[in-house]
Structure 1
């Protein structure tokens, strides 16, 4: 993407996140976003058709990077040296959510939180789907297990946000796997590559 276009998008995202932090989503107008970002109306509409499109783009922007296949070294964390095991991926996701705390908190406090949670759950289902082996499900539908894990992780994120992200990503990842691992590995013989 052209550097000017990227800078404008980031400016719009930042303005939108700032507004979400102190104003209800339904009360935010496109004009509010334009004023906060200090851009023209035509500039906004050349990037987004509506504020709902902006919200979806903000979610996708966050998640496309978070759920990237390659774990790279970043300013707050470095998972480039790890294997792509599920625990590393989950901890990596938690670091990104923490780095995007202001945006995430704004989104979770607005009326469109269900859209955000639905988008992240879809990404999580794709992630978990790759780590559960079909041959060990022992008559439990894989879709059920994937849905359960993704739903549990979404609830974990909500709990973490509610507690102002007091736990480190590593600690929260440990909580999550301590809760899902015993039933998966001891009771149902479901194989998951952690």
Structure 2
């Protein structure tokens, strides 16, 4: 995420630094202002409150991701290529912002991401047969989306995440294999 304004960047970085050590629900605007070493007026020139910072981070990250997803072809055949080659590096670069959003706003962030990006998975479920599997399509789609998101979050939440090029290999193995194959167990009903 590129933040052009120096004072805005100081505010966001202050928020991130403080949220690494403190629950953001207990974090005050004054804490952010003091930590950023800026005036109240400077803070309020950029944000109304700390939720404004969160919204800014969410929108900025989404903007970067949207630019990459614009390159997905109309048949969606290159979705996973765009995801692993173009989006993973952005996620890796912005991981500190994303971790804060995920940690404190997980339900809202998941809903936001699902609303924006689920459309890229829907074509993969065109031939899905609810009757054959006995699982509603909406549930399977949500589950699959959640698996992808949780794999990404598990990756960037590591103390020292591996490079996107290495995670891509792990991601494809996870997505292309069932949990029973990965764990080497058979789970019976």
The two structures have a TM-score, normalised by structure 1, of: 0.67
* d(CA) in 2 for partners of 1:137, 1:62: 31
- Kindly indicate whether structure 1 or structure 2 has the higher relative contact order, using CA contacts under 8 Å at least 6 residues apart: 1
CA-to-aligned-CA distance 1:98-121 (integer Å, 9 cap, x gap): 112232334444x33433343333
| SS of equivalent to 1:27 | coil
Matched, 1:178 2:173: yes
Aligned length: 166
- What is the Cα-based RMSD across aligned positions, in Å? 3.1
> Quick check: 2:125–2:141 contact (8 Å CA) kept in 1?
no
Specify the alignment match of 1:30 in structure 2.
29
Q: 5+ unaligned residues in a row in structure 1: which ranges? A: 72-82, 184-194
Residue 145 of structure 2, aligned match among 145, 150, 167: 150
Specify the alignment match of 2:87 in structure 1.
93
Residue 127 of structure 1, aligned match among 117, 120, 123: 120
| SS of equivalent to 1:164 | coil
> Quick check: 2:92–2:156 contact (8 Å CA) kept in 1?
no
Q: 5+ unaligned residues in a row in structure 2: which ranges? A: 179-189
* d(CA) in 1 for partners of 2:99, 2:89: 14
Deviation, 1:58, is 1.0
